[in-house]
Amino acid sequence: MNKVPNNKAWWLVLPMFLLVAFSAIIPLMTVVNYSLQDIFDQNTAYFVGVEWYQETLRNTRLHDSLLRQFGFSFSVLLIEIPLGIVVALMMPTRGWQASAVLILLALPLLIPWNVVGTIWQVFARGDIGLFGWTLNNLGIDYNYTSNPLDAWLTVLLMDVWHWTSLVALLCYSGLRAIPDAYYQAAKIDRASPWAVFRYIQLPRLRNVLVIGVLLRFMDSFMIYTEPFVLTGGGPGTSTTFLSQTLTQMAIGQFDIGPAAAFSLVYFLIVLLVSWLFFTTITHMEKSDNGNKHDK
């Protein structure tokens, strides 16, 4: 006797689907609509097809912002992921020390983005800021308001300070989930600390690191508030990333059509690179598992 499927459970999913449609799909369709029109005011718009997309692909200003953005995001990943792993490995596992370290690590994550920019705006000043004043007194000519390299490095250091804690906390939770039996077996085999990390801890952290890499890439690729407050995108355009270029285009110049087209290209870039990260890391995990079964 064939059972009749009961689809009533889908009614429970319907409210969430409507919420997602209202908060994501409908605004996205609105942006798509804007990207196909030349908008003069609320009542005047002309259909232009893919003209704004072609302009976006030819716009050298946007190309420069894209290169700066990729350079910044990959620098963030190269620093914060290894540093977060190291911090997690050095954290205490028991007692009040573990609780105290967890609280201290969580503090930067609780600070609003605009406040982070303000803190570093003062901290990096050469006259009254501890960081800038110390570098200048060590003989280093540091001025993030006039030197493009200093400004870029300051924004990078600010992001590392703000978000390395997230990677460390993710890795810490992954390390605590490893059963003690693995460490006991490694102790019996007299495995070195490097061998324990290479063959026990790192493989078990892979899923956590996938989450950490995706979160940090997406967030760093969309960074706006911190560099805007700290440097305003300057000096020149040294810290003008994609989000600020898009904001200037949409609000400062009121180029709604080109801004909408560029925002969709922006979204597709984030989606594509995140998918590549996820696919590569999961493929590596499957390859390692396959090699273990072969052995």
Distances (CA, A) of 186 to 1, 88, 94, 181, 276: 54, 20, 21, 9, 34
What's the rounded Cα separation, in Å, for the pair 32 and 260? 7
Q: What is the pTM of this model?
A: 0.82
Q: Domains (ranges, CATH) in the chain?
A: 53-289 (1.10.3720.10)
pLDDT in single tens digits along all 295 residues of the chain: 566 666 777 778 888 878 877 777 778 888 888 888 887 776 777 878 888 888 888 888 888 888 899 999 999 999 999 999 999 999 888 888 888 988 899 999 999 888 999 999 999 988 888 999 999 999 889 999 889 999 999 999 999 999 999 999 999 999 998 888 988 988 888 888 899 998 889 888 888 888 898 889 888 988 888 999 998 888 888 888 888 888 888 787 778 888 888 888 888 888 888 888 778 777 766 666 655 555 5
DSSP code at position 3:
P
What's the rounded Cα separation, in Å, for the pair 87 and 159? 16
Distances (CA, A) of 241 to 51, 146, 161, 217: 24, 18, 19, 14
What's the rounded Cα separation, in Å, for the pair 261 and 36? 8
- HSE at residue 206, side-chain half, CA atoms within 13 A, is 18
- Residues with Cβ < 8 Å from 173, sequence gap 6 or more? 208
User: What is the average pLDDT score of the chain?
Assistant: 85
What's the rounded Cα separation, in Å, for the pair 246 and 267? 12
